[in-house]
Structure 1
Amino acid sequence: MADSLPESGPSNPDNYEIVRKIGHGRYSDVFEGVNVQTALRCAIKSLKTTRDHHVRREIKVLEALRGGVNIITLLDIVTGDQDRPTSLVFELVDYVDFRSLFPRFNAADVRFYTRELLKALEFAHDRGIMHRDVRPHNVLFDPVKRRLLLIDWGSADFYEPRTEYTVRVGRGWKAPELLLHHGEYDYGVDMWQVGAMLAGCVFRREPFFHGVSNADQLDRIARVLGTSGLRNYVERHDMEMADVDDIAVHAGRPWTEFVDDENRHLAEEEAIDLMDKLLRWDHKVGFTLELEDGVVGCLLTMMSLGSVEREAGIGPSLLPRRRFIVGTSLLTNEFYESGVLVLFLT
């Protein structure tokens, strides 16, 4: 596997041969290929889009993420006329489709893959990058090598405070701020999507929130989190109330109501606790990922609101900060130290 792009610069298409098609998306097709000079097997992402600035942004993101833990490696850039990128070449990974894999997950698998996904996002967030489209289709699972890779950084962008963003991502994993067309979002969109994936794995319902439109998606989330929290969120951030006027009034449901005989072995108290902290209406009340040297895993910092405070509309600035250490398992050891709640994923 190459650690950097070829010193000679972008490659000619003749350097690669196509073996077979292995995937497709709105803006690209993906093929298994081989480098005819090195015989290296690779994945070739053939770009459909003519939006040069989007392609160049994706390349810039991938170059910034080079060497990142659990992040797909960009090996080469193939150019065409006027040196426009036509294909991106990546390492080839033998993976199992998530839809066939997740029904076989046990609790240890859920813990492991959640931790590995958070590691990838910690690396990206530490470099100012939001993925914005974290969902099963964009995560490769290799159960044989016990490996996870976060792929498809085409929707990613560099975070700038007080910037209006737009992005089109899979509805089933869209964070509330995206459903409400709130442009000034941040890394919280990624953390919501991790929570949605975790809920799908634990309760064996993928996607967990499955609406047929943005309005229906909001309604399905409100059935679980409650409508009053949604209205408080919209008012707090001065969003358009028209987006929620048609949402029915729901009291919300505790996560334990989704536990049944089929998923009970996955619905560990600690997993549900983490899920609850990730799936919050307010993108300002959730996890951020920061690297802490000397700690195995990631440092997750959150502003924790209890149910009473959430319903009262108390903002995070009025509440104490809690820190969560992600190690190797879902919140199995838990203790307080100087008012800081520390939880290890061991």
Structure 2
Amino acid sequence: MELKLALGECLGSFDMEKAVCNHGLFMMSPNVWIPSTKSLRRPLRLADSCHSVSVTISHPPDHPFLVIQVQDSLSSADEAAILEQVGRMLRISSRDERCVREFQTMHSSAKEKGFGRIFRSPSFFEDAVKSLLLCNCGALCELQPEIALVNGNANLKRKRSKQKPSSSKSSECIQNFPSWKELVAWTRINATHLEKRCNLGYRAASILQLATMFAQGKLVEDDITNIEQSSDPTAFETLYQNLLEIKGFGPFVCSNIMMCVGFYRRIPSDTETVRHLRQVYGKENCSIYTIAKDTVEIYGKYNPFQCLAYWMELVEEYESKSGKLSELDAASYHLVTGSLFRDKGVKRIADDAQRISY
């Protein structure tokens, strides 16, 4: 079946290719970008939050809506859930459109390039985990159907209503990104299995701590959704500080998460940021110890969109070396993500330095 998501006030600024291919998240499982059709394919959760269905999202030329192809028939509640997730990923909302326009007004180059929407995941939890891991997301997605079975929620393709399965494909497992509920239930049975099965190391404990915070009500999905649509910097700052309490979630990780949430004042700085400021701005004395001051000096004029200005420069730099992100073969993604997201050891050093700087 086919769903349509009206772009409304976002129509004038929206570009499907640019809205997706601007952040390493679009290269991570279970996302699949299809360059030939400029469309995005991935599983999304249904209204029960337990089952998933594969969708393909595209924007036909000159159409005031997105087209979402769904493999199965859906209830009205399921349709609403799918549309909400697509809207979140591609930032189709009044608040996001307002941010795009305000940023492009103060940054003329951004308007010329159509930059202003940072791609994100269907859920905050997925954004947060991916900001921490930056790899091994495929392993989590492969494990997800098995994790879902813990709650008796086998994540199987639902059979089309009133149709008998024509082949074994009708019961093929859909590998979505695990939800916090699934991970909490899974670890009640085997707390160490996640670390070993997905080769997550100590980050498994960090992920489970995040999931547990949701389970205990310390983080609430509806509250985060309200924050995302808010213009209150205090609410964003409170969320940032709460995330910092999770072991392994340092300033670099949390700033990436806040960028996904829609709070653009904190730049996720690491040694790659140091390199960028040295090469592009001639900040030869820039270091992980001075980066906080240096970024304020350079990007402060774009407040409250400092992170958008910085990220646009990074994307432009990487595309000048590797070609358009939207046209890369998936086999080449590691060449880009290795720069967009530095290796874990370097990032950890940067986190420690930022704790001193802030």
TM-score higher than 0.5 here? no
TM-score, normalised to structure 1, is 0.29
Greater percentage in strand: 1
Greater percentage in helix: 2
